[in-house]
Amino acid sequence: MILVYSHKITPRLTYVFRQIFIRILELPVAFTSTIEKFVSHSGPKLSYTLQPLGKEFFIKSHDLLFQQGIYETEVEVKNWTGVPAFFKIGNKSQLPFDIFAASFYLISRYEEYLPHLKDELGSYTPYQSLAYKNSFLEKPVVDLWAGRLKDKLNDFFPDLPHSSWKKPKFLPVVSVVNPYKYKKKSLLLKFSDSISSIWRLDLFMLIEQYLVLFGLKKDPYDNFDELVGLFKEFKISPRYFFLFAKNTYYDNGLSTYNSHFRELVKNIADFNSVSLLVSYAAQNESTILSQERKSLKKLIHQPIDRVRFNYGLLSSAKSYFGLLDQELEGDYSMGYNEEIGYRASTAVPFYFYDLNNDLQTSLRIHPVVATEKGLRKFSDKKAFKKLEEIYEGLTTRTAMHIISVSNAVLTANQMKNNWRDQFINYLRHHAG
């Protein structure tokens, strides 16, 4: 056990130290503000304060972990031998940066509580984030900093336990908004699809629609049997999230009363992890979220304790409080829909920290590195090559490589099957 001394033990301090030591590095940690207890401790120990007490492992502290409330904080990103870092501290410290304060700033999504611009959905956009502006969005810098801390600790305390290496877990998330592109829809929606194709002069889509409706062609989104088969073949355990909500302007899926849709959801849930893809309306209104959870739970007879937001996480400072009201256990929305990378700069799951009340909550956040929308900004080869480079760059065995795709990921386009083939090869590469 590593004993940490600080002049003041705060909720912020214990939160981020436990995240780095226990959840990232898998090292037990305890805390004290009593100098006598710290001095008499015979095992590994670290002081996190303004001045070293003696010749112990010392890291000079930034003010952030001792503050209460949310304030504009000066952040200047520097180069730490190839890794971006900030909150630079004095020469006496074992590390040149206060990685604990910096990690807290990133993981708590501190910047999302500060004044910022929103897009038309009311979402915090990646382009104003510290990570995007300083070109480290695709790097889990919190985990990289933790690795450097571990190296320093191993040098200082040679008897510190070492964990054997294992590959980080790969977890595909299947987000289902529209299980079918054309079939099983109401007459009104079928007519709407036809008018849309005519309006856009998309003759291929119009022909494809009627080939599907007359049973001459498979619906391009109806890939569930193949997806289930691929995951089983490669021994990969995915999570499925179904939109199970009233149709609105933003969430335009199948009716929750559609018998074919209900049967599909039940069949998938019989042998897979299935939960709720939260609608746009439910992300903004807790009572709607409660209704969607109850409806899906009644259908599949399984607890709905983990969710993902259909449009991604709009705001860390707002959206998660609805999940806390519903006593949900986990979220799979911490990422950006339109950009590949780590929104909280870590690949290791963490607990949501409520900055408004300065306390750790019970909601466990699972970082998502990429969505299908973000991947499709690139060519098929470049997208999956980029994903693999990110995976190979993970340095801790506690990291998770989570990507979100739709059931349309296996859809072949008019001419080629490149995207579909690349996805299957990617699954094969990560076979269990």
pLDDT digits (tens, 9 = 90+) for 407-421: 999 987 644 468 899
CATH superfamily of 169-180+221-429: Glycoside hydrolase/deacetylase (3.20.20.370)
CA distances from 54 to 35, 38, 47, 89, 184 (A): 11, 11, 10, 18, 72
Token pair of 409, please? Answer: 């990921």
Surface-to-core class of residue 41, CB atoms within 10 Å of its CB (0-12 exposed, 13-18 middle, 19+ buried): middle
Query: 3: part of which helix (H) or strand (E)?
Result: strand 2-5
Residue 193: which of 158, 223, 219, 167 has the closest Cα?
A: 219
Q: Residues in the chain with pLDDT < 70? A: 182, 184-216, 413-417
Amino acid of residue 102: A
Tokens encoding 27: 């090292």
Write down the pLDDT at residue 190: 52
What are the structural domain ranges in the chain? 2-156, 169-180+221-429
- 27 vs 10: CA distance, rounded Å: 20
Q: What is the pLDDT of residue 415?
A: 44
Q: What is the pLDDT of residue 161?
A: 86
Angstrom CA distances, 188 to 168, 191, 194, 235, 288, stand at 46, 5, 10, 41, 25
Render the burial of 175-200: b for 16+ CB within 10 Å, e for the rest.
bbbbbbbbbbbeeeebeebbeebeee
